[in-house]
Amino acid sequence: MPNLIMTKLKGQDHEKAVRAKIMSFLSKLTEDDTLPGLHIEPMNEPLDSRARTGRVDIHLRAVLYCLEPLAGERTYVYAGTWEHEEAIKRARTRKLQINPVNGIAELIEAEPAVDAPAPAVPKVWAESAQAEAEAAPSSFLTEKSYFVADLTDEFGFPADLAAEAFAAATEDELLAFASDLENEWQSGVLLGMAMNLAISQIKESLGITEADDDAVVAEPAVADEVAEPDRTEDERLVEALKHPAAQMQFTFIEGEEELQRVIDGGDFGAWRVFLHPDQRRYATRSYKGPFRLTGGAGTGKTVVLLHRAKHLAEQHPTHRVVLTTYTRALADNLRRDLERLDPDIAQASAPGDPGVLVRGVDQLVAAVRDAAGTGFGAAAQSVLGAVVESRGAVVANDSGWDDAVDDADVDLPAALRSKSFLSVEYLQVILANRIVTKDAYFTVRRPGRGVALDRAKRAQVWAVVEQYRKNARIANRLSYAEVASVSAAWLEGADGESPRTFADHILIDEAQDLTPSHWRFLRAVTASGPDDMFIADDTHQRIYGQPVVLSRLDIAIVGRSRRLTLNYRTTEQNLRYALGLLEGGTFIDAQGGEEGVAGYRSSRLGPEPVAVTAASASEQFAALATQVRSWLDAGVDGATIAVLTTSNNAAKDVHDALDHHGIASTILSTAKQVGDRPVILTMHTAKGMEFSRVILFDISEGSFPTSWSLKGVAAEDRADVMLRERSLLYVAASRARDELVVTWKGKPSELLLRSE
C-alpha cells in the first residue's frame, strides 16, 4: 500500500462535497494506486519528473509527486486539488526538492524546462539582487541591517525571491509578501527578520541548527550516521520531508482516520497537524525539571501541551500523565482537542491510573480529597491548625469574611476590613505559607501585598483569621483554596503516612490564573524529577487572582523558561490592537520579573479593527445588528461570529436585540461551540476560544470595567483589579482570527484610549 504525505497549501479551503471527493480519491490511492479510475498520469515536459495528476472528478484533479524508494512502499506527496487546467499547470511548473543550502524539503515554482538549463551562477545572482536592493528607495530589511546574501547564502532563498523580499519598503509589505509564499519555512525566515532576530536565532527556531540548552536532558550519544552513497534522491527527499521546518508544511498520514481529520480540519484545525519547529521542540524534548513555556494569546501554548501529552503517552505507556487547567470548561475543551489530535490515545479514568487524565485543577483536588478519606482531616492540622471533617461544603475563597470581621469585633481601617483584602491576604500569605499561629504571622514576609502591616495590625488581622477558621469549622465548610492546601499536605504525608503521588508528568495550561494553593497541590501531585511539570502561561491573560512567584512555592524554573512569539490565530492588525490594550500596565510574571510584549508577530494579515461609536444604547444595538447581518450576507459561517459582552445580562440584551432585528443567535454559557448561529458570550467565557469575526460590545465609559468588578475593592488592590480588567480586554480582542469590531456608546472606556 502506498504511503501518503499531505501538504499544507493556500487556496485549498474546499466545500464539504469536494472534501468528500478528495477523501475518496486519496483513500483509493493509498489502497491501490494502480486502479484505472484514478487516472494517475505523468506530465509532458515537467519541471519535476515525479509530478503526477489524478482524477478527483470530471472538473478537478489532484497534484501528486511520486517517490520511489529502493526499499519499502511508494510514497505520494499530495499537493492540492485544483481545476483541471490549473492542476496540469501546477504539476508541470513546480518541483519537489531538497533545498541545497538548508536541507529542507520544499516546493519551488518555475517554467518547465525544454532545453538544457544554463549553468547556475548563484553568487552573481546574489550580487545583482543586493545591488537592486541597495538601489531601491527604501528597504525594510536593509534598514534592519540584513543583506540579500543572508537569504540566499544562509537560508537558500532563490535570488529573485530574495530581491522581492528586499523590495518591501515597510514591515507590512514584508509580512504581506511572506504570507503569500508557498513554503512555510521561507515565511518563517522573513517573520524572524521582521522581529529583527539574529540569523543564528532564526536557524535555531526552524531547526536548521540546534543550540545547546542546559534545561534539556542530554540524549545518549549515538554513533555518526554511516554515509549511504547508494541512497537514491527519492529516499533523501523522504528524509528531508521529516525536517522540523518541513513538517510545518508536510505531514505523514497514518491511517484513514487521520487522513479524514486533515482534510476536514481546515485552517482552524491546522494545529493538529502542522507544528512550527519551536512548538515541536517543546512538545518532545525532555527537561531536567519544571519547565515554563510562556507566550501571548494565539502563540500555540495549548497546542504544545496537547502534543506533549500525546508524546509522553507514546514514549511512556505505563506513566501517569495529567493535563490540567484552571476551569472544568477549559478542561473539557482540552479533552475534546486531545481526542481530535489522537482518537486512540489512552485516557486515564482517575488520578493515579496510567494514561492521560484531563481534569480542571479543582476537579483534581476533589479527587485527591476523596482518595484521602479520613487522612484529609488529619492533614488539615498542618495547614489550618486543627483537624477538620473529611467531608463538608466547599465555598468560594472570598466567602465568610464579612461575618468573620463582624464576629471578631476588631479595630481595623475600612480598607483592611474588606473581604477583598482579607481573602487575598489569607490566600497569598497565610495559606501559601501554612501559617497556623499568630507568632508565625507576625514574622512571615508579605511580598507583593501593596500595603504594610505593623505588629498591631497583624494581630487584628490574625484575630479575623482565627474567627474565620472557627466559623468554618462550626459550619463544616472549607474554601476551594483550603481544600487544595490540605490535599497538598496529605500528598506530602502530613497525615503521618508516607508521601504519595498521583502523576509522573503534569502539564498545566492557563497557569497564570492559579492560586498559591493550586501550586502547592500540583507540586505535590508529582515527584520532583525530569519532565515532572510543564507549565504554559501568559502573564498578560491573568483575569483571575493575583500574580504568583513560583520560586516561593518550591517550584524552580530559573533557566527553564522559554517564550513563543509567533501568533497563529489572529492577524497582525488585530494583534497590534490587542497588544495596544496592555499599554500602561505593569505585568509581573511567574519568576517575579516584568513581562513585556516586544517581539510578538502574526503570520497573517487582514483588515484593521473597526471602532463603531453610537450616541445611545438603541443606536449601538442597531449598529451591532447591521454588522452581524453584513457578515452573514457575505457568506460567513454564523458559528464563527461572536459577540463578547461584559456580563450575562448584557449577553441577554444582545440576544434580544439581534432577535428584534431578525437575526437568530445563541448564548453560550460555557466555552463550547454549538450550532451554526452567531454566538453571544461573556469575555470570561470566551477564554480559550477563537472565532473568525468578533465584536467587543459596549466597551463604554461606565460599562467597562463594570461597576461590580470594582465594588468593595480596597484602594490598595484597585490597581491590580484594573490590571486584570485590562487583561480581560486583551483576552477578548485576541479571540478574533480575521476581523475585530469594537463598539461603545457615548465615550469609550478609559482602557481603550491607549489603543485608539
Percentage of residues in the chain having pLDDT higher than 90: 77
Position 271 scores a pLDDT of 64
**Do 559 and 648 sit in the same domain of this protein?**
no
**Do 191 and 129 sit in the same domain of this protein?**
yes
Does residue 629 form part of some domain?
Answer: yes
Q: Rounded CA gap, 241 and 8, in Å?
A: 13
Q: Say if residue 364's pLDDT is above 60.
A: yes
**Do 260 and 137 sit in the same domain of this protein?**
no
Q: Rounded CA gap, 427 and 614, in Å?
A: 42
Helix (H, G, I), strand (E, B) or coil at 745: strand
Give the residues across from 41 on adjacent strands: 53
Short-list 163, 90, 106, CA closest to 130 = 163
**Do 503 and 365 sit in the same domain of this protein?**
yes
Short-list 699, 669, 694, 695, CA closest to 684 = 669
Q: How far is CA 201 from CA 205, 225, 286, 544, 719, in A?
A: 6, 26, 21, 35, 37
- What value does the mean pLDDT take over residues 12-27? 92
- Band of pLDDT at residue 473, cut at 50, 70 and 90: very high
**Do 148 and 255 sit in the same domain of this protein?**
no
**Do 643 and 706 sit in the same domain of this protein?**
yes
**Do 594 and 551 sit in the same domain of this protein?**
no
Does residue 504 form part of some domain?
Answer: yes
**Do 19 and 48 sit in the same domain of this protein?**
yes
Position 118 scores a pLDDT of 39
The mean pLDDT value of the chain amounts to 91
Beta carbons within 10 angstroms of residue 677's beta carbon: 16
- What value does the mean pLDDT take over residues 586-599? 88
C-alpha cell at position 574 = 488585530
Please identify, among 503, 533, 564, the residue that sits at the C-terminal boundary of a domain. 564
Q: What are phi and psi of 484, to 5 degrees?
A: -65, -45
**Do 20 and 84 sit in the same domain of this protein?**
yes
334 touches 603 (CB < 8 A): no
Query: 70 burial class (0-12, 13-18, 19+ CB within 10 angstroms)?
Result: exposed
Does residue 485 form part of some domain?
Answer: no
Long-range contacts of 224-229 (CB under 8 A, 24+ apart): none
pTM for this predicted structure: 0.89
Pair type for strands 736-745 and 60-67: unpaired
Does residue 625 form part of some domain?
Answer: yes
pLDDT in tens, 546-579: 999 999 999 999 999 999 999 988 999 999 999 9
Short-list 141, 115, 119, 112, CA closest to 129 = 141
Q: Say if residue 446's pLDDT is above 70.
A: yes
206 touches 105 (CB < 8 A): no
Does residue 460 form part of some domain?
Answer: no
Please identify, among 564, 598, 627, the residue that sits at the C-terminal boundary of a domain. 564
552 touches 399 (CB < 8 A): no
Please identify, among 538, 564, 590, the residue that sits at the C-terminal boundary of a domain. 564
Q: Hey, what amino acid is at 547?
A: P
Q: Say if residue 114's pLDDT is above 60.
A: no
328-341 and 361-372 helices, crossing angle to 10°: 100
Does residue 148 form part of some domain?
Answer: yes
- What value does the mean pLDDT take over residues 333-343? 92
Position 124 scores a pLDDT of 43
**CATH assignment at residue 34:** 3.30.2310.20
Higher pLDDT, 195 or 695: 695
Pair type for strands 736-745 and 691-696: parallel
566 touches 299 (CB < 8 A): yes
599 touches 562 (CB < 8 A): no
**CATH assignment at residue 688:** 3.40.50.300
Host H or E run for residue 142: helix 140-143
Host H or E run for residue 26: helix 16-31
**How many domains are there within the chain?**
4
Three-state SS across 539-577?
HHHCCCCCCCCHHHHCCCCCCCEEEECEECCCCHHHHHH
Short-list 273, 334, 274, CA closest to 306 = 334
Q: Say if residue 647's pLDDT is above 90.
A: yes
Q: Rounded CA gap, 624 and 133, in Å?
A: 47
- Residue listed under C-alpha cell 504519595: 500
pLDDT in tens, 167-178: 999 998 999 999
Q: Rounded CA gap, 378 and 645, in Å?
A: 45
736 touches 694 (CB < 8 A): yes
Q: For 243-288, list the strands marked E by DSSP.
A: 250-252
- Band of pLDDT at residue 136, cut at 50, 70 and 90: low
Q: What are phi and psi of 648, to 5 degrees?
A: -65, -35
Does residue 442 form part of some domain?
Answer: no
Host H or E run for residue 59: none
Q: Say if residue 250's pLDDT is above 60.
A: yes
In sequence order, the 6+-apart residues with CB closer than 8 A to the CB of 285 are 213, 216, 217
Q: Rounded CA gap, 609 and 483, in Å?
A: 44
Q: Rounded CA gap, 235 and 253, in Å?
A: 17
**Do 586 and 720 sit in the same domain of this protein?**
yes
- Band of pLDDT at residue 121, cut at 50, 70 and 90: very low
Does residue 385 form part of some domain?
Answer: no
**Do 189 and 288 sit in the same domain of this protein?**
no
Position 229 scores a pLDDT of 57
Position 97 scores a pLDDT of 97
**Do 611 and 692 sit in the same domain of this protein?**
yes
Q: Rounded CA gap, 64 and 56, in Å?
A: 12
C-alpha cell at position 274 = 502542522
Percentage of residues in the chain having pLDDT higher than 70: 93
Q: Hey, what amino acid is at 154?
A: E
- Residues of the domain holding 551: 275-371+493-564
pLDDT in tens, 62-95: 999 999 987 778 999 999 999 999 999 999 999 9
- Band of pLDDT at residue 225, cut at 50, 70 and 90: very low
Q: Hey, what amino acid is at 443?
A: T
